[in-house]
């Protein structure tokens, strides 16, 4: 944290997606945000990342808000819902397009997978081979006019050239001593900035949201460290001040895998139904006194 007394109070954010129930991994991240905000004298905003309208549901959002309140987490303002801010993401995409860094991609998922020849990005998805990057401006325009389904991708090679300087971010982890981490966004290839049916990809939306909400400190899981490289590139291209990053440990299941909705990890709602108290959950995760009521939690 800066020593400049004139600097604004730190702003953090907790940003769940309402596509399932919150589990202990979400609780750990939310409580880490609360702890860091208290240490820095800042505040935590709630963001609902609900761009995927096919999977995100109002009942999941209501349950998220209810479970966060049960954990005694308080937020100073109503949540920002990504579904209500498509114009912000369109403006950011337009700025990148004006720099000649965006192109339409008409490839289906199966075509992307086939062309990748087994290569994967850090998330494990097929690495895009740049097929549509070679389309002529006339052909791309004709297909857009025809209404062919398309995504919009970042031309990574051009973007790296436009950034002009080596990219780094300030990383604290779960400690108080910062380090400079080099960013290598090229390992992602030509990332999607706007999907076929989404107003923005996670990468573009989170960068725009953090800037518009004045976020100074991002506290999130280690599984997003690789994504930070893309975020730093987009921040540089859009002329946005980068936040400080704190990538924390993950809550693991008995097999050593991170908790997730797709693995149907035990939800906070289930723990509540079993009679656990907010204090016991907090204690089990390391945010309070006591033994956590016998709740076993492994971090890694």
Count of domains forming the chain: 1
2 lies in some domain: no
> Residue 107 belongs to a domain with what CATH number?
3.40.50.620
| pTM, to two decimals | 0.92
Rounded to whole angstroms, the Cα distance separating 263 from 24 reads 13
Q: What is the pLDDT of residue 38?
A: 97
Rounded to whole angstroms, the Cα distance separating 261 from 186 reads 29
Tens digit of each residue's pLDDT (9 = 90 or more) over 225-282: 999 999 999 999 999 999 999 999 999 887 777 777 777 688 999 999 999 999 999 9
Residues with Cβ within 8 Å of residue 296, at least 6 apart in sequence: 284
- Domain hosting 61: range is 11-299
Q: What is the pLDDT of residue 258?
A: 79
1 lies in some domain: no
> Low-confidence residues of the chain, pLDDT below 50?
1-5
170 lies in some domain: yes
164 lies in some domain: yes
6 lies in some domain: no
Residues 101, 115: contact at Cβ < 8 Å?
no
191 lies in some domain: yes
3-state secondary structure of 20: coil
Nearest residue to 79 via CA among 40, 56, 47, 108? 47
4 lies in some domain: no
> Strand order of the sheet with strand 192-194?
102-105, 151-154, 192-194
Q: What is the pLDDT of residue 289?
A: 63
Tokens 């090679």 belong to 157
Alpha helices in the chain (DSSP H): 24-40, 58-70, 86-98, 109-116, 137-146, 156-163, 202-212, 225-238, 268-273, 278-284
138 lies in some domain: yes
């Amino acid at each position: 944290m800066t020593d400049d007394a004139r600097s604004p109070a730190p702003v953090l954010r907790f940003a769940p997606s309402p596509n399932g129930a919150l589990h202990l991994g979400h609780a750990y991240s939310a409580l880490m945000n609360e702890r860091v905000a208290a240490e820095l004298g800042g505040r935590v905003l709630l963001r609902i990342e609900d761009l995927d309208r096919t999977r995100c549901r109002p009942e999941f959002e209501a349950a998220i808000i209810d479970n966060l309140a049960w954990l005694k987490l308080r937020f100073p303002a109503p949540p920002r819902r990504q579904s209500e801010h498509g114009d912000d993401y369109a403006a950011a995409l337009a700025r990148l397009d004006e720099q000649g860094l965006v192109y339409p991609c008409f490839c289906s998922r199966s075509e992307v997978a086939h062309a990748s020849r087994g290569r994967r990005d850090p998330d494990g998805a097929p690495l895009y081979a740049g097929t549509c990057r070679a389309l002529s401006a006339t052909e791309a325009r004709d297909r857009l006019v025809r209404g062919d389904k398309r995504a919009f991708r970042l031309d990574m090679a051009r973007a790296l050239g436009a950034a002009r300087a080596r990219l780094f971010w300030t990383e604290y982890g779960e400690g108080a001593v910062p380090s400079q981490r080099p960013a290598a966004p090229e390992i992602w290839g030509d990332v999607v900035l706007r999907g076929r049916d989404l107003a923005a990809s996670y990468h573009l939306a989170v960068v725009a949201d953090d800037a518009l909400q004045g976020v100074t400190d991002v506290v999130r899981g280690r599984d997003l460290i690789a994504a930070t490289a893309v975020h730093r590139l987009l921040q540089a291209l859009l002329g946005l001040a980068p936040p400080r990053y704190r990538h924390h440990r993950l809550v693991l299941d008995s097999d050593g895998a991170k908790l997730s909705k797709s693995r149907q990890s035990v939800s906070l709602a289930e723990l509540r139904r079993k009679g656990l108290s907010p204090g016991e959950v907090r204690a089990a995760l390391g945010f309070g006194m006591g033994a956590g009521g016998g709740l076993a939690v492994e971090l890694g």
